[in-house]
Amino acid sequence: MRKIEFANEEYYHIFNRGVDKRNIFIDTRDYERFLLAMDLLNDENDGLMIGWRDYKKSNPKSSLKDFLKLGFRKREPLIEIIAYCLNPNHYHFILKQEKDKGIEKFMHKIGVSHSKYFNKKNKRSGSLFQGKFKAVHIDSNEYLLYLSAYVNKNNFIHGYNKNDSWTYSSLPDYLGKRDEKLCNKEIILGQFKDANEYKEFLDRNATYMKEKKELEKYLIED
C-alpha cells in the first residue's frame, strides 16, 4: 500500500523507470506517443485518445491542435503538469493534483497506455515499468524550485547530453525556445525576473547535481 496520500492543490515529484532498468523509449515515435498520452489522458473522462485516433484516420493532414479546437466537450484535468523529462529508461514529473485521486488516476492511465502500446509495437509481454510509480510530496517553495531544475535538466544530469537541446522535456518551454501548452510554467518562472535569470538558476543547480551524481559513483556505502 502506498504510504503517501495525495492532496488537491499540492505538488509532487513523480518518477519511475523500466523494469530491470530497461529502456521504455526506443525511438522518436515512443517519446511522441507518451507525450500525446500525457496530454489526452489528463482528463476525468475517457475517450480523447480514441477520438484523436479516429479523427486522424479521417483527417490525416490535421494536427492535434486542430482536433482539440473542436471542443466537443469541456475537459476536466486530473492534474497540472509543472515540469517533465523523459529519458530512455525513466521519467520525472512535477505534478499538482487538481481532482481527488487525480495523480493516481493519471499515472494509472499513462502506465497502462504506454505499456500496451510499447508491448504491441515491440512484440513483447509483461510489465514494462518497475512496479508502482514513486512519489515525493514537495512541501516547500524552495524544494519546488530545486526540483524544477532537477527535472528540467534531468537529461543533462544523467549525462545523456551536454546542452539544452533535449526535446522530450519541458526545458525548451522554460527557456522560451518553445511554447507548448502541456505544462504550466508560471508557478516557477513567476519567481524570476526573466527566462535568462531562471536559466542561470538551472545551470548552476544542474551542474552541482551532475557533479554530485558522478561523485556518488565512486563512494562505497556500508
Domains of the chain: residue spans and CATH: 11-42+77-216 (3.30.70.1290)
Rounded to whole angstroms, the Cα distance separating 170 from 164 reads: 11
Confidence band, pLDDT 50/70/90 cuts, at residue 63: confident
- pLDDT of res. 58: 86
Q: Which three cell numbers stand for residue 36?
A: 500525446
- pLDDT of res. 98: 97
- pLDDT of res. 106: 98
Confidence band, pLDDT 50/70/90 cuts, at residue 222: very low
Rounded to whole angstroms, the Cα distance separating 117 from 115 reads: 5
In the β-sheet with 79-87, what is the strand arrangement from edge to edge?
Answer: 79-87, 90-97, 11-17, 134-138
Confidence band, pLDDT 50/70/90 cuts, at residue 221: very low
Query: pLDDT at residue 189 above 90?
Result: yes
Looking at per-residue pLDDT, the higher value among 161 and 86 belongs to 86
- pLDDT of res. 79: 98
Rounded to whole angstroms, the Cα distance separating 117 from 140 reads: 37
- pLDDT of res. 219: 54
Residue with cell 488537491: 8
Look at residues 182, 183, 168 and name the one whose alpha carbon lies nearest to residue 30: 168
Confidence band, pLDDT 50/70/90 cuts, at residue 218: low
Q: What is the per-residue burial (b if ≥16 Cβ within 10 Å, else e) of 156-184?
A: bbbeeeeebebebbbbbbbeeeeeeeebe
- pLDDT of res. 60: 86
